[in-house]
Amino acid sequence: MNRKLLGLIPFLIFILLCVFLYQGLFGNPRELQTGRLGQQMPSFTLPDLMSDSKQWQESDLLGEVYLLNVWGTWCPTCVAELSYLTELREQGVRIIGLYYEQGYDPDFGDQFDINKLRAEVNAMLARTGNPYQFNILDLKRTLALDLGVSGAPETFLVDKQGKILLHHTGDINQRVWRAKFAPKLMELTQ
Amino acid sequence: MIPEIGYFALVLAMALSLLLCIFPLWGAHTGNLRLMRAAPSLAVGQCVFVLFSFAILIYITLADDFTVAYVAHHSSSTLPWYYKVTSTWGGHEGAILLWLVMQSSWTALVALMSKSIPWVLRARVLGVLGFLGVGFMLYTLWMSSPFERLLPYYPVEGRDLNPLLQDPGMIIHPPLLYMGYVGLSVSFSFAIAALLTGKLDNTWAKWSRPWTMVAWGFLTLGITIGSWWAYSELGWGGWWFWDPVENASLMPWLVATALLHSLAVTEKRGVFKSWTVLLAITAFSLCLLGTFIVRSGIIVSVHAFATDPDRGLYILLFLAVVVGGSLALYAARVSQVRSEGRYQFFSREVALWVNNIFLVVATLVVFLGTLLPMIHKELGLGSISIGVPFFNQMFSILIVPFALLLGIAPMLRWKQNKLPPLAKKWLVILMATITITAAWLFGSFETVAPLTFVASALAVWIMLSTAVDFAQKVSTQQRLSEGLKRLGLSYWAMVLGHVGIAFVIAGVTITSAYSVERSVRMQPGDTASLNEYEYRFEGVKEIVGPNYTGHAGVVTVLKNNEKVTELHAEKRLYNIGMQFMTEAAVDDGFFRDLYLALGEQLGGGAWSLRIYHKPYVRWMWLGGLLIAFAGFIVLADKRYRKSPSKGNQQEATS
């Protein structure tokens, strides 16, 4: 009898494994359950992308609901979502850009050319439309790291008190917007 | 029309496979010899049609028939002909067809080379193989046909083969790996046939052993070549990443290694029978699970295969039927198995049993590291990530007792041993190991970390104890030639395999401990030094390939102001996908590799370059080749070609 039960163990373990594999099949492995949800925006002091004199802090963003969109001109998916984000801005959604620079690598003693980057960004936004109120430049990726950003594009929904309500990995399109962001935004404005 | 013929050939192959599954199994069940006799010809027949279908896929790829979706997505007219051929397994549909080619060829081989096996067992083995064939063929025909057309709107040019796959290593890596995976299905079929027959004696172990050895050899070769390909093609000198897809091939390898050793015990001593059967089932199950992981996209991997939940669901269902069915059968039959042999604690049986425990624990580590993040998330506990440090740490702990045991186990005899004489011998070997390791490391490197010393000593320990055992076995005869003649081929295989492991351990240890790299910004004429070598950047020249353009950084390597070699590190831009690819330049040597990758253009004629100095890195792949060769040696063993009635006349050495 004991031997029989022992022989069944591999079978039972396998059945359990199958249940998990089946569930996993319908989950998206790239979707992150971020630890930042429900928490405050991390504190930061970072320069504006377009102006040398302006510095932004987390307190400057309080008071209104906004989207924080992590992007870069080097990222094709980010570029693809710019025109949809511009439509959203026209509907009154407040979008703040967190510019994530990729080409800069201090290991090689690279000279970072801010004017070249500004020209690139301006040219890009002139083509696709500009969804952003302003852009924060996160050259050393400190804020991105604090937010748990794993790549670009990623978008956070933040409320008036600076609390992070959503973290979306990947592009925003009409489908994602309607399914994920619009309902949350409705809740907040009511 | 031609692609449709390919599809139709597969339909015929599946019909034959279906018969191959039904007739022999039914015949074996009812004792109908005529039905059982149909098995070999059905097995060969289905193989012919699968090969024909594969030949057609190659033909339409060479003919640039872009009306076929698979060809349009994975090939292009500018691709060199040999990469056109390999593009037939560069994508999902083609890779599965290649799997089928392997599956049906192994089935046909088993049919042809099993003439001396009793009909009941032979018919069941072939029937199980037929069932597996049906499963994969149905999948190909239903969900992943490479013959699907893009009519009426088809492109005039294909999308080209992923540049990463345009490399000689990639031509042979997947076929070898599949040979291994599918080869393990033969061990699996033998195990299931034995369970069905209800006779788990050492006959099945004896028949299954050479097949398992060869499959394991291919798997080893596939993994080794894959590692070498990653090293030369990915441009940052890494050779193992603990990526889910690599893990998917490592798990069956670990279990198959355990299976080899366990089969030896079952064949020679008639013990561990049910454990061996379970290992045979597990090894192939892990191959299927690996396929599921890779093809279903449930886990994030650097290997970007096209993923599709429907396909994943089919593979999962197939997995559930095959593995669930066999484990249920196992549960039903295992209680009837009785061990025959008796043995004491201090014996080869126990040593091999402990070896199995280590290998299974290592498999569990890989398994948990790969699947736990997904399970964790499905349980609603949040996303976690298990990375390289976890695997490295676990394996560096496991390898120590494993390698120690590996050194001494071959000296143990079956049943029982006396400790004192052996212990004295081991002590001498241990002293010699420490001395040699110290001389070697302190003589070659400036600093030696304690862990590096321990790990290197393990490699030396295995080498020395294998050498001592070898010398003793040979010296039992008066003349050297007589002594060498008396060693069985399986003993040679063991020696090679163990020496191979020693090489792998030494290579991994030394290259991990003493590899150095530098990122430099260089203008033509600049030099940079790393260890005892000087690298002089001569400049960058344009290169034009058949389907790419790019730059090659030319670097002269100097040692003591004498030219050692000239390296050309390339950065290619593939025309169709507009993808950049790094083609690292490697000056390989037995004791060190000089590895150079060209980075970005930095302006003012300057480029960024990464230089790596990697000592002993070749030893890893050399070890892999030795291990694989150990698997192939048994093919020459006449013992496995004799009919069972003649038995084992040769000395039992395992």
H or E, element range at B531: none
Give the nearest chain B residue to A110 (CA atoms): B602
Cα distance from A34 to chain B (closest Cα, Å)?
A: 7
Q: Is residue B308 part of a domain?
A: no
Query: Is A7 in CB contact (< 8 Å) with chain B?
Result: yes
Phi-psi domain of B596 (left: phi exceeds 0; alpha: psi -120 through 50; beta: other): beta
Query: Is B577 in CB contact (< 8 Å) with chain A?
Result: no
Whether the model pTM is above 0.80: yes
Torsion sign (Cα): A45, A48, A52, A55: negative
Residue with tokens 């079952």: B266
Residue with tokens 């441009």: B235
- State the Cα–Cα distance between residues B19 and B53, nearest whole angstrom: 19
| Residue B417 predicted with pLDDT over 60 | yes
What is the mean pLDDT of the segment spanning A35-39?
A: 72
Report pLDDT digits (tens) over B8-21. Answer: 999 999 999 999 99
Torsion sign (Cα): B288, B294, B300, B301: positive
- State the Cα–Cα distance between residues B94 and B145, nearest whole angstrom: 8
Q: pLDDT band for position B301 (50/70/90)?
A: low
H or E, element range at B602: strand B592-603
| Residue B566 predicted with pLDDT over 60 | yes
- Please report the number of interchain residue pairs, chain A to chain B, with beta-carbon separation below 8 angstroms: 85
Q: Is residue B133 part of a domain?
A: yes
- The structure tokens listed for B382 are 């949040």
User: Which of B114, B131, B161 is a domain's end point?
Assistant: B161
Query: Is A27 in CB contact (< 8 Å) with chain B?
Result: yes
- State the Cα–Cα distance between residues A151 and A156, nearest whole angstrom: 13
Q: List, as ranges, residues 253-312 from B with C-beta within 8 Å of A.
A: 274, 278, 281-282, 285, 292, 296-300, 309, 312
- The structure tokens listed for A140 are 């050393």
| Residue A110 predicted with pLDDT over 80 | no
Helices (H), B381-418: 388-408
Q: How many CA atoms lie within 13 A of B109 on its CB side?
A: 15
| Residue A1 predicted with pLDDT over 70 | no
Architecture of domain A37-189: 3-Layer(aba) Sandwich (3.40)
Which chain A residues are Cβ-neighbours of B290 within 8 angstroms? none
- The structure tokens listed for A185 are 């935004």
Instruction: Report the number of secondary-structure helices (H) and strands (E) in chain A.
Output: 6, 7
User: Which of B161, B191, B218 is a domain's end point?
Assistant: B161
In order, the DSSP letters of B184-232 are: HHHHHHHHHHHHHHT--SHHHHHHHHHHHHHHHHHHHHHHHHHHHHHHH
Substitution target in B281, B327, B336, B517 with the highest count of A β-carbons within 10 Å is: B327
Q: pLDDT band for position B160 (50/70/90)?
A: confident
Question: What is residue A30's predicted lDDT score, i.e. its pLDDT?
Answer: 57
Torsion sign (Cα): A145, A151, A152, A153: negative
Question: What is residue B651's predicted lDDT score, i.e. its pLDDT?
Answer: 36
Report pLDDT digits (tens) over B88-112. Answer: 998 888 989 999 999 999 999 999 9
| Residue A60 predicted with pLDDT over 70 | yes
Strand pairing report for A95-99 and A135-137: parallel
Task: Check: CB of residue B326 under 8 Å from CB of residue B340.
Answer: no
Contact B374 A10 (CB under 8 A): no
Which chain B residues are Cβ-neighbours of A20 within 8 angstroms? 371, 374-375, 378
What is the mean pLDDT of the segment spanning B581-609?
A: 87
> Per-domain residue ranges for chain A?
37-189
- State the Cα–Cα distance between residues A24 and B312, nearest whole angstrom: 10
Question: What is residue B297's predicted lDDT score, i.e. its pLDDT?
Answer: 63
Query: Is B576 in CB contact (< 8 Å) with chain A?
Result: no
Interior angle at CA B379, CA A144 and CA B254, nearest 5: 90
Strand pairing report for B527-530 and B533-544: antiparallel
In chain B, what percentage of residues exceed pLDDT 90?
A: 52
- Maximum average pLDDT range among A139-153, B35-49, B367-381: B35-49
Question: What is residue A103's predicted lDDT score, i.e. its pLDDT?
Answer: 66
Cα distance from B174 to chain A (closest Cα, Å)?
A: 25
H or E, element range at A114: helix A114-128
- State the Cα–Cα distance between residues B46 and B247, nearest whole angstrom: 32
Residue B297's SS3 state is coil
Task: Check: CB of residue A114 under 8 Å from CB of residue A153.
Answer: no
Determine how many CB atoms are found less than 10 A away from the CB of residue B532: 10
What is the mean pLDDT of the segment spanning B595-603?
A: 86
Contact B383 A32 (CB under 8 A): yes
Residues 6+ apart with CB under 8 A from A161: A40, A62
Contact A23 B371 (CB under 8 A): no
Substitution target in B375, B385, B607, B611 with the highest count of A β-carbons within 10 Å is: B375
- State the Cα–Cα distance between residues B510 and B504, nearest whole angstrom: 10
Question: What is residue B645's predicted lDDT score, i.e. its pLDDT?
Answer: 40
Question: What is residue B232's predicted lDDT score, i.e. its pLDDT?
Answer: 82
| Residue B235 predicted with pLDDT over 80 | no
Q: pLDDT band for position B172 (50/70/90)?
A: confident
- Find the domain containing B131 and state its range: 1-161
Question: What is residue B313's predicted lDDT score, i.e. its pLDDT?
Answer: 86
CA dihedral B234, B235, B239, B240 (to 10 degrees): -50
- State the Cα–Cα distance between residues B524 and B510, nearest whole angstrom: 33
Question: What is residue B299's predicted lDDT score, i.e. its pLDDT?
Answer: 65
Mean pLDDT, rounded, of chain A: 83
Beta bridge partners of B587: B594
Residue B80's SS3 state is coil
Q: Which of B300, B333, B602 sits opposite A108 (nearest CB)?
A: B602
Give the nearest chain A residue to B522 (CA atoms): A108
Nearest CA-CA partner of B621 in B511, B513, B507, B496: B507
| Residue B71 predicted with pLDDT over 90 | yes
Task: Check: CB of residue B536 under 8 Å from CB of residue B526.
Answer: yes
Q: Which of A20, A30, A105 sits opposite B374 (nearest CB)?
A: A20
Task: Round the CA-based radius of gyration of chain B to a whole number and report it.
Answer: 27
| Residue B518 predicted with pLDDT over 80 | yes
Question: What is residue B312's predicted lDDT score, i.e. its pLDDT?
Answer: 81
CATH number of the domain that residue B87 is part of: 1.20.120
Q: Which of A18, A24, A108 sits opposite B608 (nearest CB)?
A: A108
Mean pLDDT, rounded, of chain B: 88
Nearest CA-CA partner of B248 in B370, B361, B164: B370
Residue with tokens 């009511």: A190
Interior angle at CA B336, CA B331 and CA B339, nearest 5: 110
| Residue B304 predicted with pLDDT over 60 | no
Query: Is A113 in CB contact (< 8 Å) with chain B?
Result: no
Cα distance from B421 to chain A (closest Cα, Å)?
A: 39
**Burial degree of B70 (CB within 10 A; 0-12, 13-18, 19+):** buried
Tally the domains of chain B.
Answer: 2
**Burial degree of B494 (CB within 10 A; 0-12, 13-18, 19+):** buried
Report pLDDT digits (tens) over B240-258. Answer: 888 888 889 999 999 999 9
Question: What is residue A31's predicted lDDT score, i.e. its pLDDT?
Answer: 59
Strand pairing report for B592-603 and A45-47: unpaired
**Burial degree of A26 (CB within 10 A; 0-12, 13-18, 19+):** exposed
Report pLDDT digits (tens) over A162-176. Answer: 888 888 888 888 888
Distances (CA, A) of A105 to A142, B337, B519: 14, 64, 11
| Residue A29 predicted with pLDDT over 60 | no
Q: Which of B285, B300, B312 sits opposite A25 (nearest CB)?
A: B312
H or E, element range at B571: strand B562-574
In chain A, what percentage of residues exceed pLDDT 90?
A: 11
Report pLDDT digits (tens) over B602-629. Answer: 877 889 899 999 999 999 999 999 999 9
Query: Is A108 in CB contact (< 8 Å) with chain B?
Result: yes
**ipTM for the whole complex:** 0.81
Which chain B residues are Cβ-neighbours of A22 within 8 angstroms? 316
